[in-house]
């Protein structure tokens, strides 16, 4: 009887700990352009590359292409709106790419933060392929500034239009590798 109780307690602890996942962020890559256009090439890992074309002017735009050495498959995100800030007569556009790992299953993602709600994305990486996992433009009535917050147990997506703030909790579907947003 004692052996059965110990086995049941161990199983309960194992199941409880496997349900709880932590999000771990890496060092973000911040790209910026001041009144004009620039192309960037950066390594995400030793075999992953990100190519970016970033424009700042009356509007900010970004084109991103995620590729790997081992695979010919690439994921392109085009004409993403980027928040432009005007300071001292200059139009500055900034784009931040933050690596993200789910420690329960080792799945890897990249947060694409353009500062503009319609440009926010999450890209997944698994088995040599990149895939769009979240596109804020798919949410209804999303406009204005935006940002991501990564907490230990959840990812939050914030929007601000005029003086109205909204926060969405992003939930990962591990089968489809996509995030659902709940307000």
DSSP 33-62: EESEEEEEEEESSSSEEEEEEEEESSSEEE
Three-state secondary structure call for residue 97:
strand
* First-last CA distance in the chain: 48
The verdict on pTM exceeding 0.75 is yes
Break the chain into its structural domains and give their ranges.
21-142
Residue range 153-163, pLDDT digits in tens = 999 999 998 88
Distance (Å, whole) CA 169 – CA 101: 17
Distance (Å, whole) CA 102 – CA 107: 5
Residue range 43-61, pLDDT digits in tens = 999 999 999 999 998 899 9
Confirm if 54 and 82 have CB atoms less than 8 A apart.
Answer: yes
């Amino acid at each position: 009887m004692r052996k059965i109780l110990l086995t049941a307690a161990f199983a309960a602890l194992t199941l409880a700990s496997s349900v709880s996942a932590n999000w771990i962020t890496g060092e973000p890559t911040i790209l910026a352009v001041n009144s004009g256009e620039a192309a960037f090439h950066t390594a995400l890992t030793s075999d992953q590359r990100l190519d970016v074309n970033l424009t700042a002017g009356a509007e900010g735009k970004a084109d991103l292409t995620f590729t790997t050495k081992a695979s010919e498959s690439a994921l392109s995100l085009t004409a993403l709106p980027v928040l432009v800030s005007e300071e001292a007569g200059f139009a500055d556009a900034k784009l931040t790419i933050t690596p993200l790992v789910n420690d329960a299953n080792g799945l890897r993602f990249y947060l694409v933060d353009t500062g503009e709600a319609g440009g926010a994305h999450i890209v997944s990486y698994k088995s040599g392929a990149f895939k769009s996992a979240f596109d804020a433009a798919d949410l209804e009535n999303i406009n204005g500034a935006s940002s991501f917050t990564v907490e230990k147990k959840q990812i939050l997506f914030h929007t601000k239009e005029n003086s109205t703030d909204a926060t969405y909790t992003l939930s990962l579907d591990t089968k489809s590798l996509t995030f659902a947003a709940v307000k």
